[in-house]
Structure 1
Amino acid sequence: MSVTSKKPSVLFVCVHNTGRSQMAAAYLAHLAGDAVEVRSAGSAPAFRVNPVVAEAMAEEGIDIRREIPKLLTADAVQASDLVITMGRGDDCPVFPGKRYLAWGLGDPAGHPVEAVRLIRDEIRERVRALAAELLGRGAARPGLEVSSLGA
């Protein structure tokens, strides 16, 4: 739990903050609502979310087209209880007392929507499990079952 709030705080990190971390953050925000503080950032953020990633998420009913990639800062890491790196080689500061996970997912950059859907679906399943863990139950916020998304 973060020092400033009673709810857990999760930071998703990928290099450009245009695909994997944006998908994961959007899923967790959708599933957990206000029960979890969600952030995403990248060590070398691009200018906009990958349009193919946005298309794949729109198929799930989640619009991330207006999200803006953000620079990863030490403050963002320090403000988070859990930091999840999404790819391989993500540069992320490490601080004592923080929980870190490395998901090691493929990069959707340059791939057609069919390939991005596979990455999206893997992220969705990981985030479902994470939401259940963070919220202490098998479902997300009241009225929205974790199983209500996707396949």
Structure 2
Amino acid sequence: MTETTKPSVLFVCVHNAGRSQMAAGFLTHLAAGRIEVRSAGSAPRDQVNQVAVEAMKEVGIDISTEVPKILTIDAVRASDVCITMGCGDACPVFPGKRYLDWTLDDPAGQGIEAVRPIRDEIERRIKGLITELLPDTDTAEA
């Protein structure tokens, strides 16, 4: 972990408009400030996917004010865990970092019925990640 003792996580997908934004929203909400959260994309869109925004609102998380960001080396360097979601080799690799690749369907161009299962799978994985990073935390009540 970084010198702050607070773990940090970077979510990366190509457009930083769907999967990575939903993951960052869940982690921000469920970790309640105990984990530093970043998200970025290798080719970010100009806005977050509106269906992803709608799907997250259904579970009480507002990501409507988020803005897709470009992936930088500094963001990777500052993160303890880098989670990629379909961006291939776009994420730079640094020794000592933990890298995970979450294979998830892309919500781009999908309707709400198709995005809900993606959202729910992201939530499940986020709860598992919190358990790993903050082992004394009960995510069931969050």
Report the TM-score when normalising by structure 2: 0.96
1:12-91 map, 5 Å: 12-87=11-86, 89=88, 91=90
Residue 148 of structure 1 and its aligned partner are, at CA, apart by 4.2
Separation in 1, partners of 2:133, 2:37: 12
1:109 aligns with 2:108: yes
Separation in 2, partners of 1:20, 1:38: 14
Show the counterpart of 1:147: 140
Gaps spanning 5+ residues in structure 1: where? 140-145
Separation in 2, partners of 1:45, 1:90: 16
Residue 88 of structure 1 and its aligned partner are, at CA, apart by 5.0
Deviation readout 1:28-49 (Å, 9 max, x if unpaired): 1111111100000000000100
SS in 2 for 1:147: coil
Residue 104 of structure 1 and its aligned partner are, at CA, apart by 1.2
Q: Is contact 2:42-2:87 (8 Å) kept?
A: no
Percent identical residues: 63
SS in 1 for 2:24: helix
Gaps spanning 5+ residues in structure 2: where? none
Distance 1:110 1:90, change over 3 A: farther
Show the counterpart of 1:143: none
Structure 1: 4+ residue segments shifted above 6 A: none
Q: Is contact 1:81-1:99 (8 Å) kept?
A: yes
Separation in 2, partners of 1:103, 1:137: 24
SS in 2 for 1:34: coil
